Amino acid sequence: MGSVFKFKQFEVDQSACAMKINTDGVLLGATERDIHPSRILDIGTGTGVVALMLAQAFPEAVVDAVEIDETAAKRAQMNFANSNFASRLQLFHTAFQGFCPQEKYDLIISNPPFYTNSLHAPDERKKLAKHTDTLFFEGLLHYVRTYLTSKGIFECIVPPALANWLIDRADADYALHLQRIIDISSFENGEVIRRIVSLGKEEVPQRHESLYIYAEKGIHSVKYKQLLAPYFLAY
């Protein structure tokens, strides 16, 4: 993949960034939502791709993005400035824990890279419970509880074991309730490799959905193409 990824309405330069554009990020950014947020926060924006996708999807929304890595933050800032949404996008080079906005958010979103070394053991949940990565997610849940509006939604994409832990901890300790799960697999009826988890302060009927990426090897599914069609030049 080249250093510049061209979308239909914007471009993302990912030169020198450790976290490149990936399937997790674009699926999270493209997820269909029933809400129309006016304020959005992207935690760990990386190159800024998810924030840019959300700025396109919600043309009335203001999108803030935080990024702790200096190189990625500079790249995201440049990508924001070069987009048609520049006036509605703002980058903050900081850890989210140090970011204290004046107003709460209707949508908080995160594609965290922090779990990548967490899931080596066969008993993933036992390994996860002992791993320091959980400290990050404890802090994330506390932050979401503080800065999410009463009807707002928090969304993240994580592996299944981490999703299960996150859902349990959010409900038990942070009064953040599961509203929706999207199980993502490579092929229809295949092993779930990621979950998009949606949490909120409201208790609503839970929705459990599935998405598979490929209809067959090398051929993307109809649903995947539909989701990415507003963004990808290929569709």
pLDDT tens sequence across 132-146 = 467 889 999 999 999
Per-position b or e across 134-165, b if 16+ CB within 10 A of its CB: bebbeebbebbbebbbeebbbbbbbbbbbbbb
pLDDT for position 136? 86
Q: Is residue 172 part of a domain?
A: yes
- At residue 10 the predicted structure's pLDDT band, cuts being 50, 70 and 90, is very high
* Token output for 3: 């250093």
Would you say residue 86 has pLDDT above 90? yes
In this prediction, residue 134 carries a pLDDT of: 78
Domain membership flag for residue 233: no
**pLDDT level of residue 57 (50, 70, 90 thresholds):** very high
End-to-end CA distance of the chain: 18
pTM over 0.85: yes
pLDDT of residue 129: 38
229 C-beta neighbours (distance < 10 Å), count: 12
Residue 73 lies in a domain: yes
What is the domain count for the chain? 1
* Residue 24: domain span: 4-228
Where is pLDDT greater, at 128 or 172?
172
Question: Is residue 108 in some structural domain?
Answer: yes
Q: Decide if 136 is inside a domain.
A: yes
Give the CATH number, domain containing residue 158.
3.40.50.150
Question: Using 50, 70 and 90 to split pLDDT, how confident is the model at 113?
Answer: low
Sign of the dihedral through C-alpha 179, 185, 190, 195: negative
The answer to whether the beta carbons of residues 21 and 47 sit under 8 Å apart is yes
